[in-house]
């Protein structure tokens, strides 16, 4: 397992006389891999970096497809990993990863794919060695996470398979894509909200018990990741705090709209006695502060949606 360091990527960009913005794109899409518990340094996917730079040097623009076709995978490949052994337990781990962006377990150094002892930790280790997840931090267990935007798109493909193959969700993929298109072309985010609400209404009792605002943010990010037209950032840093979600146009996007979203998740059991109107006012005041950030003020057609 290997990867480029930040210093090496910047040197490649400098050597080929490319603009600094190329580094920002590489970091969004291909950085975030951590292969050892003993170091803090993140690395970039070497094959993907070279693929991107080759296109940029040749055509002076980013590749239309951010994933090299030699590395592209589908939901069916992940499904095959799930079905090696303990499919139900593996599936639970995948759903946790897909809907929250993280999961925990132990890293296994050696295992046999055809062994009856192939455990959930073996399954997570297989995803790790394949580069589908990476180490976030180590406590009692290892916390694994999805490393970058391109990897999120990989899981979005699997997420698409879940929706299509499980009747309980009752959502058409075309409905999701049309909702994203409506936002990009008109700035209307209402259809995305409807799709997310429909998905959440079909979650299991167990999933709802563990549901929180971070989960809500990630579900929105996951749906938007079904399109390569946008980058989605959770906890986007501004001069006045952290915005819940920032939806930014990708380099492949020629549509008009972007969005800054402030979410307020209210648990029914915990809302008794809360001043809901005051909570709304606080959220609106937060938004007003966030959009004063210089990076956001310069953006044309940035819509500020206030959903509570």
To the nearest 10°, report the CA torsion of 212, 162, 184, 253. 110
**What single-letter DSSP state applies at residue 268?**
G
> Distance (Å, rounded) from C-alpha 228 to C-alpha 289?
29
Amino acid 122: pLDDT: 92
> What DSSP assignment string belongs to 74-125?
-HHHHHHHHTSS-HHHHHHHHHHHHHHSEEEE---S---TT-TT--HHHHHH
Amino acid 164: pLDDT: 62
> What DSSP assignment string belongs to 132-176?
SSEEEEESSSEEEE--SHHHHHHHHHHHHHHHHH-GGG---HHHH
How much is the pTM?
A: 0.66
Q: Are strands 241-249 and 134-138 parallel, antiparallel or unpaired?
A: unpaired
> Distance (Å, rounded) from C-alpha 210 to C-alpha 255?
36
- pLDDT, averaged in runs of 10, over the chain (308 residues): 90 92 90 86 91 92 80 68 85 81 88 82 91 87 88 72 61 81 86 84 61 73 76 80 84 77 73 76 85 80 54
Contact 69, 183 (CB under 8 A): no
Amino acid 268: pLDDT: 67
Amino acid 160: pLDDT: 67
- CB-based contacts of 96, cutoff 8 Å, min separation 6: 102, 103
């Amino acid at each position: 397992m290997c990867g480029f360091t930040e210093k090496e990527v910047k040197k490649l960009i400098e050597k080929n006389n490319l603009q600094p913005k190329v580094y920002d794109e590489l970091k969004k899409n291909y950085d975030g891999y951590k292969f050892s518990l003993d170091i803090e340094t993140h690395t970039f996917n070497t094959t993907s970096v070279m693929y991107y730079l080759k296109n940029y040097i040749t055509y002076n623009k980013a590749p239309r497809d951010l994933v090299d076709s030699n590395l592209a995978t589908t939901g069916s490949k992940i499904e095959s990993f799930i079905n090696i052994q303990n499919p139900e337990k593996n599936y639970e781990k995948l759903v946790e990863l897909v809907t929250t962006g993280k999961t925990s377990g132990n890293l296994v150094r050696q295992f046999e794919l055809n062994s009856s002892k192939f455990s959930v930790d073996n399954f997570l280790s297989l995803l790790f060695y394949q580069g589908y997840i990476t180490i976030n931090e180590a406590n009692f267990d290892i916390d694994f996470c999805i490393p970058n935007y391109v990897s999120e798109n990989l899981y979005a493909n699997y997420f698409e398979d879940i929706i299509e193959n499980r009747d309980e969700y009752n959502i058409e993929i075309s409905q999701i894509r049309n909702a994203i298109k409506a936002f990009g072309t008109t700035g209307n985010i209402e259809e995305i909200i409807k799709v997310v609400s429909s998905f959440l209404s079909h979650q299991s009792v167990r999933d709802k018990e563990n549901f929180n605002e971070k989960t809500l943010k990630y579900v929105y990010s996951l749906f938007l990741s079904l399109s390569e037209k946008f980058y989605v950032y959770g906890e986007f840093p501004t001069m006045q705090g952290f915005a819940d979600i920032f939806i930014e146009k990708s380099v492949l996007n020629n549509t008009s709209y972007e969005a800054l979203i402030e979410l307020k998740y209210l648990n029914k059991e915990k809302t008794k006695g809360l001043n809901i109107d005051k909570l709304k006012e606080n959220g609106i005041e937060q938004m007003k502060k966030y959009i004063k950030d210089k990076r956001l003020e310069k953006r044309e057609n940035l819509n500020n949606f206030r959903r509570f």
